[in-house]
Structure 1
Amino acid sequence: MPATAQQNVRVPVEQGGRTIQLSAQLFRPAQPTGPVPAVALFHGCGGPGQNTARMAGLLAFWGYAALVVDSFSARGLKDVCGRNWPTQAAAEARAGDIDAALAWLAQQPGIDARRLAYMGYSYGGGVALLRALSGNPDNRSPPVARAVVLVYPDCALADPLGQRLTVRQPTLLAMGALDDWTPVSQCRALLERVVRGQELVETKVYPGAHHSFDALGLPVRYLDGVGNRSKPGGCCGAHYGAHEPAWKQFVVDVRAFLDKALKL
């Protein structure tokens, strides 16, 4: 894979009457031929990791700019995977990071502000789902993003949004069939509540894969102390770890989805 240009940047986000500067890494294609589409990436409950950096590198190789946003460091957080899984209020507050990241990307030279997408993993996928289904905060303008990718997302975070949901942009859900942390069943139940835009949703379920199937090199293991919204009382325990066949197919699926949504 050719080297890509990386840059440490700050993304301002308003929260509680003050501005927080989120740390982020911007990846650009090595040899862009003009303004390029861009994807903002949002990590799971453990913070940015090798999976988000790996995906950003792939995106840049494919001709996209990629912004890996760290939602935790500026807030003094490191890992929120413990027994106290992130609250609904925390997830809704974090959704503002998506708006801020897209606004920041739209202002950068060499990026096509008309071709933006965002991608969320696990807890970050649940946050991305909240934003995708609720639209912009003012509910008056169409979503800025042209596409959304949800990677083993916490679909339970969308429970408070009601029984009649609208999907506004092409949305890809990528999930492991054996995921017992953010199970496929929760996302299927969510999709049954979509009354408009169902045709915009593409679902991929990878056989044999658990949560974090893209954590290459990490054998599947059981974490007995982590919060788990899919269990009674929200506690505890889940499997996670890599599944290389799922990862390889996921890469193919994401590239095809984004090329269709952003490059045509």
Structure 2
Amino acid sequence: MPTMNAYPQTFAYAPRCMGSVASLLLLAALHGCGGTQEPVISVSKITYTSLDPVKALNVPAELRMPRGQKLPAVVIVHGSSGIDSRGISYAKELNAVGIATLEIDMWAARGISDAAGRPKSVPETLPDAYGALKFLAVQSQIDSQRIGIMGFSWGGVVTMLSATAPYTQQYMAGSGLAFAAHAPNYPVCWVYNRVPGYAFNSFTGARVFLQGGDLDTYDLPDTCPKLALSVAAAAPPGVLRVKMYANATHGFDRSEAAVTISDPFSHLGKGGEVLMAPNPEAAALARTATVAFFLKQFGM
């Protein structure tokens, strides 16, 4: 059963005044950036039940709830390294415009501390994402028909696959639930429709907004745009939109120091080293674009 702690933290904070004119106008219009009333966010550490049919997994998560009723919400899914700076940076900006967030910890649910122990395939963690959808849908403050999902790398792949009809039917059949919008960041575009379990050709119809960097060595600079073109014939019009950032590596929206990792899924599946270096300018643009995407999809 889902559980919430008995003493959620409630506090006020001022949303960060982002640098671009568009983002300043967006936050100023909705919350008065640097001006009037600061949003009050209730923060709760909760656990919910994964929909894994084999393992009984209780997934820890952080639920961040702005004031209001029938709020839209976004599930945030981490990458292979686990929870880091990315999730909270997007959560705070989504919260600032009245969108609840649930950042889930799939690795803690499995007793994993880092990428070395991650599951063999991303589809193994899809039940965690759909379990989060089910959990949010029964919260009294949440609008069950306006729940989106976003994620980074591994979490980006989760976000992509949860836009497909077969996986959604597998885990949510009879519930009337499906994610309303998907925002994957650098979701290893070469794997789709090439590797078993990663079919991306039958869709729920919810919009997918994919963001990546041209220096991402999991893919080539044109891999993600070509994916969008390849699925256009089978997808509803405009279901997949891609935005690529110049001079941006895999994980460009991390604030941690640059790091080089080795991953067998990189370099179009040949394996090898992957540089993850922060790009603050691209990160700010990506956060602004993500917020704008969810605002549009939620009709806000």
Q: Does the 8 Å contact 1:181/1:239 carry over to 2?
A: no
CA distance in 2, matches of 1:204, 1:15: 32
SS at match of 1:45: coil
Residues 209 and 14 of structure 1, relative CA distance in 2, 3 Å threshold = same
Counterpart position of 2:103: 68
Counterpart position of 1:204: 243
Alignment of 1:29-178 (within 5 A): 29=66, 32-80=67-115, 82=116, 87=120, 90-133=121-164, 134-138=166-170, 144-158=178-192, 159=194, 160=196, 161-162=198-199, 164-166=201-203, 168-178=205-215
SS at match of 1:199: coil
Residues 183 and 86 of structure 1, relative CA distance in 2, 3 Å threshold = farther
How many residue pairs were aligned?
255
Query: What's the CA shift for 1:18?
Result: 4.0
Q: Does the 8 Å contact 2:218/2:268 carry over to 1?
A: no
CA distance in 1, matches of 2:72, 2:201: 31
CA distance in 2, matches of 1:164, 1:68: 27
Query: What's the CA shift for 1:13?
Result: 1.1
CA distance in 2, matches of 1:20, 1:162: 25
Q: Does 1:222 align with 2:260?
A: yes
Q: Does 1:255 align with 2:291?
A: yes
Q: Does the 8 Å contact 1:143/1:168 carry over to 2?
A: no
Q: Does the 8 Å contact 2:228/2:242 carry over to 1?
A: no
Q: CA RMSD in A?
A: 2.4
Structure 2 gaps, min length 5: 1-13, 15-37
Structure 1 gaps, min length 5: none
Query: What's the CA shift for 1:45?
Result: 0.1
CA distance in 1, matches of 2:289, 2:268: 33
CA distance in 1, matches of 2:204, 2:221: 18
CA distance in 1, matches of 2:123, 2:179: 18
Query: What's the CA shift for 1:230?
Result: 3.2
**Higher Rg of the two aligned structures:** 2
CA distance in 1, matches of 2:173, 2:221: 32
SS at match of 2:63: strand
Residues 18 and 230 of structure 1, relative CA distance in 2, 3 Å threshold = closer
Which of 1 and 2 has higher RCO (CA within 8 Å, sep 6+)?
1
CA distance in 1, matches of 2:151, 2:224: 14
Q: Tell me the TM-score normalized by structure 1.
A: 0.87
Q: Deviations over 1:125-145 (max 9, x none)?
A: 112212212441438667611
